[in-house]
Structure 1
Amino acid sequence: MDILSLLGVILGFAALIGGNFLEGGSIQSLLNAPAAIIVIGGTLGAAMLQTPWLQMRRAFAIFPWVFNPPRNLFQDGLDRVVRWAMAARKEGLLGLETMAETEADHFAQKGLQLLVDGSEPESIRRVLETEMIVNEQRDLDAARFYESMGGYSPTIGIIGAVMGLIHVMRNLADPNELGPGIAIAFVATIYGVAFANLFLLPVANKIKTCIQSQSQYRELIIEGIIAIAEGENPRNIEVKLNGYLP
């Protein structure tokens, strides 16, 4: 669990509600079901309209990364690469076959299998880098689903406010209804702006950070496997890959 993400969400909305109280407002003044339906439904609908099904499904699949990001243990990855290098030095590349079969990381397993098959270093690099780039782009496209929602949300909030003002105008004959009516109308604007800036855009950026970290981890694996294929000394490989450590 990423405590920082959880605290960020709580602090952001707590500051909004707390500021409302300090100004003499109440929680009831911020609650408006029609405004919430307009903002949430309109934002989601607009984002769905521009997003292919597979991309949207991937966006929902990686949403948990915000609070439970993938664990890319760079030190553990470096240690594994060094173990592979030592095994290859002692037993040859065929000695990695057992390690490849038991490797839990699919990406690393693919690289080890290419080593065992005797592929050339440049061929291994092309295969692994292609897979890394394709996966990275797929996840970035999925993150843009939340980024697009963050762009639409404030505008949908303004639309909700205008719709509320239209209803207020119908009560111009009753001045007592104007003040509360206008206040309720602008709740939609608050929902739209707050939803975008306190949740959707931070979610998109947090997912992008996770994607970047994952790609860096895979770069470590690629460079390690290429170094093994080129017959480098395990100690030299370790020194070379230390630069990837946080």
Structure 2
Amino acid sequence: MDIATLIGLIAGAVAIIGGFLWEGGQITGLFQVTAAMIVFGGTIAAILVSYPMHRIRTIPAALRMAFSKSTNEASVWIEDIVDMSMLARREGVLALEQKVIEHPNAFLRNGVQMVVDGTDQPVVQQILELEVDAKEQKYDGYAKIFESAGAYAPTMGIIGTVMGLVQVLGSLTDPTQLGPSIAVAFIATLYGVASANLIFIPIASKIRSKSEEEISTLEMLLEGVLSVQNGDNATLVRKKLETYVLKHTIPQMNRKGQAHERSE
């Protein structure tokens, strides 16, 4: 699990509830079933209206993406590609078939397999770019659902507050109860704004962040496959691929690269 996501959600809830209690509020005042029903039920209904069912079914996958621990293995894939480039230069691309057949990365495996099969480079590039675009669109769809929820939730909160005020003002028989009743009505607004800014929008942002990381890795792998097909020198391959990874991983890969060059 991505511990940062979990910590962020817990910290946000603690900050809001803790601040409320610090000012002398009672925690029971923050829990209103009716307000929760209006805000969250209304938000779910709006999402169901906004998206077709096949998009709704992707929500569990989107949540898994947001909460799962990031396993960026770009440095590992770079080493694999550099090894492939050296092998291809020494023995030809056909020598890669046995090496790539059991590779754990399906994108790299399929790309190199097309190279081994003698597929023309423009075709290899087109197919891999289409796969990258498809991944990007899928992740964009994940994020948009939660962004929409983040837009709907505050509005549903306002609706709940207005409904509560209408009820309060319509049955105003005891002026001493006006303040507490209005306070309860505004809980709906709190639910809407808090859920949007602490849950829905941050989850969408986390999905986009992880999507950018994965797409960058796929683009790196695509460049690596084309470099292997071109027969590029291993040093040149490494330099090109390192531009796709985070700066703090580059020193480690450079050390590995020097070891590979010496062994070559």
When normalised by structure 2's length, the TM-score is 0.89
Match of 2:42 in 1: 42
Change (3 A) 1:170 1:154: same
CA distance in 1, matches of 2:118, 2:215: 25
Contact 2:3 2:69 (8 Å CA) reproduced: no
Does residue 155 (structure 1) correspond to residue 178 (structure 2)? The answer is no
Contact 1:85 1:228 (8 Å CA) reproduced: yes
| Residue correspondence of structure 1 range 23-62 to structure 2 within 5 A | 23-62=23-62
Shift of 1:58: 2.0
CA distance in 2, matches of 1:53, 1:12: 31
Shift of 1:201: 0.2
**Cα-to-partner distance string for 1:58-93 (whole Å, 9 max, x where unaligned):** 232121222214412221111111121122223321
Match of 2:258 in 1: none
Structure 2 residue identity aligned to 1:34: T
Shift of 1:171: 2.8
Structure 1 residue identity aligned to 2:79: D
Shift of 1:155: 0.2
| Residue correspondence of structure 1 range 120-139 to structure 2 within 5 A | 120-139=120-139
Does residue 107 (structure 1) correspond to residue 69 (structure 2)? The answer is no
Match of 1:212 in 2: 212
Contact 1:56 1:142 (8 Å CA) reproduced: no
Contact 2:153 2:192 (8 Å CA) reproduced: yes
Match of 1:144 in 2: 144
Shift of 1:168: 0.8
**Cα-to-partner distance string for 1:96-140 (whole Å, 9 max, x where unaligned):** 112332022221121011111111222211110111011111210
CA distance in 2, matches of 1:215, 1:69: 16
Match of 2:95 in 1: 95
**Cα-to-partner distance string for 1:130-151 (whole Å, 9 max, x where unaligned):** 1101111121012100000000
Shift of 1:34: 0.8
Structure 2 residue identity aligned to 1:185: A
**Cα-to-partner distance string for 1:165-208 (whole Å, 9 max, x where unaligned):** 12212331111321211111100000000000011000001100
CA distance in 1, matches of 2:167, 2:9: 33
CA distance in 2, matches of 1:77, 1:86: 14
Number of aligned residue pairs: give it. Answer: 246
Match of 2:75 in 1: 75
**1:102 partner SS:** coil
**Greater alpha carbon shift after TM alignment, 100-109 vs 194-203:** 100-109
Structure 2 residue identity aligned to 1:138: K
Match of 1:223 in 2: 223
CA distance in 1, matches of 2:240, 2:136: 24
Contact 1:156 1:192 (8 Å CA) reproduced: yes
CA distance in 1, matches of 2:69, 2:52: 24
CA distance in 1, matches of 2:30, 2:179: 15
**2:205 partner SS:** helix
CA distance in 1, matches of 2:62, 2:182: 39
**Greater alpha carbon shift after TM alignment, 59-68 vs 30-39:** 59-68
Structure 2 residue identity aligned to 1:188: A
Unaligned runs of 5+ in 2: 247-264
CA distance in 2, matches of 1:28, 1:14: 15
CA distance in 2, matches of 1:217, 1:120: 23
Contact 1:171 1:178 (8 Å CA) reproduced: no
**Greater alpha carbon shift after TM alignment, 205-214 vs 80-89:** 80-89
CA distance in 1, matches of 2:137, 2:41: 28
